[in-house]
Structure 1
Amino acid sequence: MRKLLVAAVALAASAGALAQSSTPAYQNNQSEARRQAAGNQGNAELFYMIERLQREVRDLRGEVEQQQHQLDQLTRQSRERYIDLDQRLLELSEQRQQTRASSGNRSGDTAAPGSQERQTPQTVSKEYREPSEEERQAYDRIQKLIQEQKAYDQAIGELYDFVSEYPEGDLTVNAYYWLGEVYLVKPQLEQAKQAFTIVATRYQDHRKAPDALYKLGVVHDRMGEKEQAERYMKRVVDQYGASQAASLAKKYLGAS
């Protein structure tokens, strides 16, 4: 009897222990499953947020690139309008000088013999501002863009910046001339004509003037305007007969 009682107590104790040990294990598994599910949901939400942020960044980058492209276009148009206006003012000045010359010829019939001979335009020699070291370095950088890297579009932008930042200097005239050269290479002939016209008209006493006048003849030749081209070549010979540009102009006239 006693043995039976002890066995019953032991069986009850074992059942209680089993009950105590099995219940927490089930609960622990369920809690672990919940934690994993919560973790998976959190990871999914984080992944979705990252994807959305990446899309937004791509969209913003596209908008920035589009706006930058529009800004570049507006900048180029503004620069081209600037140089076009400069050329129009020069052409207007030329027309006024021609009108005055014609009026002078009509009123000078009683002038002394020989006074009706062809006269070359009279220019007043002036001193050009010497470039600073910073200005010279900027000009040298542009020359590398043109001569070595052939980065013509970038060079055009920097040439416009140069003539704006360093006006009326010796290298400013060079910058206008090289602006014409780069446009001639691209080729954008109308813009090249405008740049060379500025040098040949506004800076007639500068060392680049003969070359610019000759290049105006080249531009008109490439545009199919042979008479205009010959007219500019003759002007080079008449006005700058001792220059290298005059030698080139003579060769052109001799071959035409």
Structure 2
Amino acid sequence: MAFLKLKGALGTAVALSAVLLSPMAVAEPTMAQLEKQLNDRNAALLKMQNRVQQQDAAIRDLQGRVQDLSDRLSALEKGGAKPQAPAANPAADQTAKQEPATAPAAPAPESKKASGDPKKLYEEAFTQVRDNDLQKAEAGFLELIKDYPDSDLVPNSYYWLGQIYYKQKQYQKSRENFLNVTKYKNCSKRADSIYKLGAIEELLKNPDKAKKFYQVVINSYKGSTEAVLAQKALDRLK
């Protein structure tokens, strides 16, 4: 009887072990656990990637310093020892004081353009506009356009020339310069130049042309001050 009980207990234990070890009995991870594992792995990979990038940056910096040091050493080797200053010569110094200084060589004809400053020229001309010295301002802007045609101040120079001629009622010249401004799509004064073209056509008794310019401002520069002014002018001409 005792043997039978023991046998039955062992059979139960074996059956229970089989159930516990069965693949179906192993608890599967939940979706939240899987997401956490994935996030943890991605975070670890990102951290490792950052470390690799930092190490690469440090290596590149070190290589740059080594190259710079190598270049300096090469330059020193090629140049040799730095020459020593010549010994003082009182007699020569006295002669140099007595002799007049040699006049500097005349600058080359193109030195003005090579070493000139279009920004300074523009600022001077703009100051003359504010001072109402329109003749000098005109000359300054014309000089800038002629001598520095590639300067980014050329569009603004055309604009102020247009304003100068407009104030002097030289409408054809004013029109030409405002038209030049419109060729520069990124010029901050393009919208006002187009509006001024409309105003000029209106003054020249060309209302249909004026309307076209005003409409361009309204369509191209919505919400701008120039668009508001153009709309008022357009309403007046209707």
Give the TM-score normalised by structure 1.
0.46
- Whichever structure has more helix as a proportion of its residues is 1
Higher relative contact order (CA 8 A, sep 6+): 1
Give the TM-score normalised by structure 2.
0.49
